[in-house]
Amino acid sequence: MTIKSDIEIARAATMKPIAEVAARVGIPADAIVPYGNTKAKVSFKHIDSLKDGKDGKLILVTAISPTPAGEGKTTTTVGLGDGLNRIGKKAMMCLREPSLGPCFGVKGGAAGGGYAQVVPMEDINLHFTGDFHAITSAHNLLSALIDNHIYWGNSLGFDTRRIAWKRVLDMNDRALREIVNSLGGVANGFPRTDGFDITVASEVMAILCLSLDLKDLERRLGNIIVGYTRDKTPIRARELKADGAMTVLLKDALMPNLVQTLENNPVFIHGGPFANIAHGCNSVLATKSALKIADYVVTEAGFGADLGAEKFFDIKCRKAGLKPDAAVVVATVRALKMHGGVAKDNLKTENVLAVNKGCENLKRHLENMAKFGVPIAVAINRFVTDTDAEMQEVMKAAESLGARAFVCTHWADGGAGTEALARHIVELADGGRSAFKPLYPDDMTLRDKVKTIATEIYRASDIACDASVETAFKDLEAGGFGKLPVCMAKTQYSFSTDPNKRGAPEGHIVPVRELRLSAGAEFVVVVTGEIMTMPGLPRVPAADSIRLNADGQIEGLF
Amino acid sequence: MTIKSDIEIARAATMKPIAEVAARVGIPADAIVPYGNTKAKVSFKHIDSLKDGKDGKLILVTAISPTPAGEGKTTTTVGLGDGLNRIGKKAMMCLREPSLGPCFGVKGGAAGGGYAQVVPMEDINLHFTGDFHAITSAHNLLSALIDNHIYWGNSLGFDTRRIAWKRVLDMNDRALREIVNSLGGVANGFPRTDGFDITVASEVMAILCLSLDLKDLERRLGNIIVGYTRDKTPIRARELKADGAMTVLLKDALMPNLVQTLENNPVFIHGGPFANIAHGCNSVLATKSALKIADYVVTEAGFGADLGAEKFFDIKCRKAGLKPDAAVVVATVRALKMHGGVAKDNLKTENVLAVNKGCENLKRHLENMAKFGVPIAVAINRFVTDTDAEMQEVMKAAESLGARAFVCTHWADGGAGTEALARHIVELADGGRSAFKPLYPDDMTLRDKVKTIATEIYRASDIACDASVETAFKDLEAGGFGKLPVCMAKTQYSFSTDPNKRGAPEGHIVPVRELRLSAGAEFVVVVTGEIMTMPGLPRVPAADSIRLNADGQIEGLF
């Protein structure tokens, strides 16, 4: 048997016209804005018309701490959604949009895998409906307005050493990380240090994903702090009159994008904020709309549960008033073996002991999730090399914490491979067992919020802040930002800040290096390690082999 | 009577579904790729299916030398197309795509005016179908691949002082004109001077507009010269293996965009290259496709006829094998008065003498056009202040050179205002009177090509080249680029290189400052003055007042 590649499977799929996919969940033809025949946006008018309807059940798919072995969170989200549809439920999925730039670095694609994919995958991974391009434009318009303001007299009094707004491109381009701009003389402005981030790292992306509607989007854009005066007074985007034009650039991008799975079930793919300097979830508008449209909505959050689920609960759900009904933690036997100390090259050999040891990571995440009051199940995303004994070990670990684990074969079987999990999730979600609450109250100080996450979720003994960070905490409280949630930027590979500490480390110290205020997105980013906001390309970039073949199909992208 | 603004007229328009507009000219539903309900791309499959069909007649709309009074070339192109449809002809228009960045500088919009507009004008002026974003991405991927190549060892031997490929953004951002990139240490590369152009100035834009199909696009992209080694050997994009991935990024952008006029007639708006460092015409693919679809195709070229028409004939028509059947030179009484020496504030007063004097400019353009063998008519784009005596003066001037002039009131009346012109154009185009030939043969040396244009079209007595330019001419001939057409970059305001010399100056010298090879677009840019490839924003940018109103409509853009 030859195993088909993701792209071969995707190409063999029979997509339905997107209007038909939409109609099946009650979205009428005049409510969709088509982008080609298999992608569409859903109009604000339609979304507004849904607002008094009943909400469906919200299910989060999260994962153990990621390893190079892979977990398959998106794939499981798609598989579970297809499974729910297969057992007769009206279910939708809400995913994040992939970024264009990284496609040219390492072969990739982020639309699921195997028989649990979202299509058209090439379009989704390239320009899609142009959302990221709109974000790039809106972000860079603000950047241009800053330097233009300084050029024409700087009446707001920008301290050019304290400009807090870089430029962005959706490209892996290390040469732009740090630049000096405005060179070349009087006509080009005042030279200053500057730099580019990748578009997904833009605060505009986080704002788009958290905005409730166009008004809220405009308000948040206006609140962005773009820099400071010499006496450290913040200057907002609103003072540059940038918020209106940025909103105009983003008005289409704010509409959720509708696509379909290989099994023709509806999926919103909308927004893709970083999971470190932002909250790493798809847009609030897509999730809220899906809850009005479908009875069950399956969504995912970036990285492992310590980062992704925590931010999903403490930032997205808190701010958008969402109440998740169940959560799934995805694990693979292979990844658990790595957490149990096995090297990547030895993952094909049965090793029950290593699985048992690696399950400490899974159990830690399960314990953590319970703190949010949401009922949990475990999805074992099965690989062909997994043995029964290994899978039994995972089930035992889950059961020891009162959760059930299900072997899921959606990669090979599509929705048929997650039926058992789907039935269980329906039971959990319908059972009214969820007593969702965020981990910390709004009123807690920022420093205590960080400490609470560090001790309760990361199981650290304490946080460590040097004098400048302590001052930053105080300044933010004094500036009126104390009630914001915190957005942790920590390595995803460990509960600790050391990426090499797999499993379930505890008693460590979490050093807080820096605080960054996202006044428009309305959270405070807490940096605990190196944060890369502009990737580079590898020695042999994927771009080298990306091309159109004789049939006009894209080769080399996946 | 209150005069409605362009945007008021556009909003009051009843757009037809784009599939209906397409169907009327025989484009079937499965041949269009919708972007919303009023914009679409036409599939390559459909375009290929047309290739053995008969070509319609090609009509160029060009203009006298522009003045601050305005001429209305796009408006006349739209009006004439509507007029041709009104008199029962199957006609299409081919226009250039407007650029996003400048919309935030000065209130603008480039989709015609009054009752001769193309809609949806907001979309067309903002993200439209994403073509410019795709060009930005493809251009910047190549930029990133250059620095990445150097970072990983520079095996091709780039001389970092001789990198000939900047970066681009579709934004007016003077701070990016000149930068130093790759700062910040070892991980970020080797610092070098760099800069950004606006996207429309990208050679990728010119290439997209001149490509015959995806294969030709890929070939041209591969030919781009991105830099030189220390011994001045050119390095091409193909050597960086960038051509395949760039083609993938541009595959949708290469499909022509279909929209409609206020009178629901079909229009291709596709491609928008600079009219100085590029050839300033819409895409070859759109024009060729339109010729297969319609019996009459009306298209425009940038700036006045000395630049726009010359490049249309000598670059676009020559390279794409197009044979224009007729041309229209647009003039306004107001602009002719300015050419006749009247200041902008005094244009409302009748001044027949000034019109007579200004007609020297019109007559010069008419004489020039005759050199290309194409029959000509004049469109007087009427303003309310124009008097009969003034218009008579223009008609006399046209008749003195054997051309007929028509008063056109499309701005106020739509297609009904150009019926007489339309009938005459049909007569000219159907009369088989066109004996089109480019101004110079491929075989002429580059220097002689420039001199021919300067003397024959600009009526200069000679060109002046300093030693470095003479060397550049020789190097290009030696490098095998001698057969390329030249692409003149000259002020549009005068036949001479002095923008203040209105009317019909002659006997001047055209100083050639610099030659720039566009090896992918396949022309040599001849720079005769200051060329601005990255605009700045004004003191009070239009962005300040652009916003969504309570009805979700865009205010401040026009």
B316 and B372 in a single domain? The answer is: yes
Dump pLDDT digits (tens) for B143-175: 999 999 999 999 999 999 999 999 999 999 999
pLDDT greater than 80 at residue A108:
no
Q: Cβ–Cβ of A180/B179 closer than 8 Å?
A: yes
B303 is annotated as an active-site residue: yes
| Interface probe, candidates A248, A252, A532, chain B, greatest B C-beta count within 10 A | A248
Q: Sorting pLDDT into bands at 50, 70 and 90, what band is A109?
A: low
Q: How many CA atoms lie within 13 A of B258 on its CB side?
A: 33
Dump pLDDT digits (tens) for A261-304: 999 999 999 999 999 899 999 999 999 999 999 999 999 998 99
- Distance from C-alpha of A89 to C-alpha of A82, rounded to nearest angstrom: 10
Percentage of chain A modeled with pLDDT above 90: 94
Strand partners, A39: none
Mean pLDDT for the stretch of residues A229-240 = 97
pLDDT greater than 80 at residue B47:
yes
B33 and B115 in a single domain? The answer is: yes
Tell me which chain A residues have a C-beta less than 8 angstroms from the C-beta of B218. 547-548
- Distance from C-alpha of B7 to C-alpha of A289, rounded to nearest angstrom: 32
Question: Which residue in A134, A171, A248 is closest to B140 by CB distance?
Answer: A171
Catalytic pick among B75, B261, B497, B533: B75
Closest CA to A199 of A558, A543, A535: A535
Instruction: List the binding residues of A.
Output: 67-74
Chosen domain end from B430, B459, B489: B430
Distance from CA of B120 to the nearest CA of A (A): 14
A538: nearest CA partner in chain B: B148
Dump pLDDT digits (tens) for B293-350: 999 999 999 899 999 999 999 999 999 999 999 999 999 999 999 999 999 999 999 9
pLDDT greater than 80 at residue A93:
yes
Mean pLDDT for the stretch of residues B389-398 = 97
Residues B396/B423, Cβ–Cβ less than 8 Å:
no
Catalytic pick among B4, B51, B107, B232: B107
Percentage of chain B modeled with pLDDT above 70: 99
Which pLDDT does position A106 carry in this prediction?
Answer: 86
A101: nearest CA partner in chain B: B141
Residue B116 is assigned to a ligand binding site: no
A550: nearest CA partner in chain B: B215
Tell me which chain B residues have a C-beta less than 8 angstroms from the C-beta of A544. 241, 245
Mean pLDDT for the stretch of residues B359-372 = 97
A85 and A153 in a single domain? The answer is: no
Tell me which chain A residues have a C-beta less than 8 angstroms from the C-beta of B187. 174, 536
Check residue A556 and report its DSSP letter: S
Tell me which chain B residues have a C-beta less than 8 angstroms from the C-beta of A137. 100, 127, 133, 170-171
Torsion of the alpha carbons at A78, A313, A97 and A306, rounded to the nearest 10: -80
Q: Cβ of B447: how many Cβ atoms within 10 Å?
A: 22
Which pLDDT does position B61 carry in this prediction?
Answer: 98
| Interface probe, candidates B179, B238, B239, B531, chain A, greatest A C-beta count within 10 A | B179
Which pLDDT does position A346 carry in this prediction?
Answer: 93
| Interface probe, candidates B43, B135, B151, B169, chain A, greatest A C-beta count within 10 A | B169
B219 and B164 in a single domain? The answer is: yes
- Distance from C-alpha of A183 to C-alpha of B448, rounded to nearest angstrom: 37
Q: Sorting pLDDT into bands at 50, 70 and 90, what band is A107?
A: confident
- Dump strand ranges (E) for B140-286: 158-163, 167-169, 179-181, 192-194, 196-198, 225-229, 234-236, 257-261, 266-269
Check residue A383 and report its DSSP letter: -
pLDDT greater than 80 at residue A3:
no
Distance from CA of B330 to the nearest CA of A (A): 34
Closest CA to A331 of A350, A304, A301, A298: A304
Is residue A92 in some structural domain? yes
Q: Which uninterrupted H or E stretch holds A407? A: strand A404-408
Which pLDDT does position A323 carry in this prediction?
Answer: 97
B44: nearest CA partner in chain A: A552
CATH code of residue A200: 3.30.1510.10
CB-based burial of residue B488 (10 Å sphere; 0-12 exposed, 13-18 middle, 19+ buried)? buried
Q: Cβ of B275: how many Cβ atoms within 10 Å?
A: 22
- Distance from C-alpha of B99 to C-alpha of B271, rounded to nearest angstrom: 10
B152 is annotated as an active-site residue: no
A130: nearest CA partner in chain B: B130
Q: Cβ–Cβ of B248/A547 closer than 8 Å?
A: yes
Amino acid at B347: L
B73 is annotated as an active-site residue: yes
Q: Which uninterrupted H or E stretch holds B62? A: strand B57-63
pLDDT greater than 70 at residue B1:
no
Is residue A550 in some structural domain? no
Q: Which pairs count as long-range contacts for B546-553, CB under 8 Å and 24+ apart, including other chains?
A: B546/A244, B546/A245, B546/A248, B546/B103, B546/B104, B547/A218, B547/A243, B547/A244, B547/A245, B547/A247, B547/A248, B548/A214, B548/A218, B548/A244, B548/A247, B548/A248, B548/A251, B552/A44, B552/A214, B552/A251, B553/B11
Tell me which chain A residues have a C-beta less than 8 angstroms from the C-beta of B242. 543
Residue linked to tokens 């595959």 = B251
- Distance from C-alpha of B185 to C-alpha of B191, rounded to nearest angstrom: 9
Quick check: helix, strand or coil at residue A91? strand
- Based on the structure, what is the number of domains in chain A? 3
Q: Sorting pLDDT into bands at 50, 70 and 90, what band is A529?
A: confident
Dump pLDDT digits (tens) for A74-88: 999 999 999 999 999
Check residue A153 and report its DSSP letter: T
* CB neighbour list of residue B435: distance below 8 Å, 6 or more residues apart: B373
Tell me which chain B residues have a C-beta less than 8 angstroms from the C-beta of A552. 44, 214, 251
- Distance from C-alpha of B89 to C-alpha of A212, rounded to nearest angstrom: 50
Q: Which uninterrupted H or E stretch holds A298? A: strand A296-300
Q: How many CA atoms lie within 13 A of B453 on its CB side?
A: 32
| Interface probe, candidates B149, B171, B554, chain A, greatest A C-beta count within 10 A | B171
Q: Which uninterrupted H or E stretch holds A327? A: strand A326-331
Is residue A140 in some structural domain? yes
Q: Cβ–Cβ of B189/A174 closer than 8 Å?
A: yes
Q: Is the pTM of this model over 0.95?
A: yes
Which pLDDT does position A557 carry in this prediction?
Answer: 86
B220 and B306 in a single domain? The answer is: no
pLDDT greater than 60 at residue B418:
yes
- Distance from C-alpha of A381 to C-alpha of A267, rounded to nearest angstrom: 20
Residue B67 is assigned to a ligand binding site: yes
Tell me which chain A residues have a C-beta less than 8 angstroms from the C-beta of B552. 44, 214, 251
B13 and B23 in a single domain? The answer is: yes
Tell me which chain A residues have a C-beta less than 8 angstroms from the C-beta of B198. none
Distance from CA of A97 to the nearest CA of B (A): 17
Using alpha carbons only, what angle is made at residue A224 by residues A94 and A277, rounded to the nearest 5 degrees? Answer: 50
Residue linked to tokens 């990361």 = A458
Is it true that the peptide bond before B266 is cis, omega within 30 degrees of 0? no
Is residue B540 in some structural domain? no
- Distance from C-alpha of B195 to C-alpha of B217, rounded to nearest angstrom: 25
pLDDT greater than 60 at residue A1:
no
Instruction: List the binding residues of A for ATP.
Output: 67-74
Chosen domain end from B372, B399, B430: B430
Dump pLDDT digits (tens) for A152-197: 999 999 999 999 999 999 999 999 999 999 999 999 999 999 999 9
Catalytic pick among B275, B294, B454, B460: B275
Q: Which residues of A are catalytic?
A: 73, 75, 96, 107, 275, 303, 383, 411
Tell me which chain B residues have a C-beta less than 8 angstroms from the C-beta of A127. 130, 133-134, 137, 249, 252
Q: Cβ–Cβ of A33/B37 closer than 8 Å?
A: yes
Mean pLDDT for the stretch of residues B480-501 = 96
Which pLDDT does position A69 carry in this prediction?
Answer: 78
Is residue A546 in some structural domain? no
What number is the ipTM of this complex? Answer: 0.97
Q: How far is residue A62 from each of residues A301, B252, B500, B557, measured CA to CA in Å?
A: 6, 35, 67, 43
Q: Cβ–Cβ of B176/A175 closer than 8 Å?
A: no
A175: nearest CA partner in chain B: B182
> Of the given ranges (A266-275, B63-72, B414-423), which has the lowest mean pLDDT?
B63-72
Tokens of B474: 């020789």
Residue B431 is assigned to a ligand binding site: no
CATH code of residue A460: 3.10.410.10
Residues B274/B306, Cβ–Cβ less than 8 Å:
no
Dump pLDDT digits (tens) for A421-470: 999 999 999 999 999 999 999 999 999 999 999 999 999 999 999 999 99
Q: Cβ of A11: how many Cβ atoms within 10 Å?
A: 16
Which pLDDT does position A253 carry in this prediction?
Answer: 98
* CB neighbour list of residue A270: distance below 8 Å, 6 or more residues apart: A94, A95, A96, A97, A131, A209, A256, A257, A282, A283, A285, A286
B286 is annotated as an active-site residue: no
A171 and A123 in a single domain? The answer is: no
Quick check: helix, strand or coil at residue A288? helix
Question: Which residue in B37, B143, B245 is closest to A546 by CB distance?
Answer: B245
Which pLDDT does position B302 carry in this prediction?
Answer: 87
A309 and A207 in a single domain? The answer is: no
Is residue B300 in some structural domain? yes
Q: Cβ–Cβ of B147/A552 closer than 8 Å?
A: no
> Of the given ranges (A362-366, B182-186, B300-304), which has the lowest mean pLDDT?
B300-304
Is residue A64 in some structural domain? yes
Q: Cβ–Cβ of B145/A194 closer than 8 Å?
A: no
Residues B98/B111, Cβ–Cβ less than 8 Å:
yes
Supply the mean pLDDT for chain A.
96
A399 and A266 in a single domain? The answer is: yes
Residue B251 is assigned to a ligand binding site: no
B89 is annotated as an active-site residue: no
Is residue A537 in some structural domain? no
Percentage of chain B modeled with pLDDT above 90: 94
Which pLDDT does position B3 carry in this prediction?
Answer: 77
B232 and B300 in a single domain? The answer is: no
Chosen domain end from B233, B250, B267: B250
A355 and A211 in a single domain? The answer is: no
Q: How far is residue A250 from each of residues A288, B37, B295, measured CA to CA in Å?
A: 19, 19, 39
B467 and B417 in a single domain? The answer is: no
Tokens of A355: 């699985």
Supply the mean pLDDT for chain B.
96
Q: How far is residue A177 from each of residues B169, B267, B444, measured CA to CA in Å?
A: 16, 42, 47
Amino acid at B522: E
Q: Cβ–Cβ of A189/B175 closer than 8 Å?
A: yes
Which residues span the domain enclosing B479? 446-528
Residue B324 is assigned to a ligand binding site: no
Residues A53/A300, Cβ–Cβ less than 8 Å:
no
A183: nearest CA partner in chain B: B178
Dump pLDDT digits (tens) for A340-353: 999 999 999 999 99
pLDDT greater than 60 at residue A373:
yes
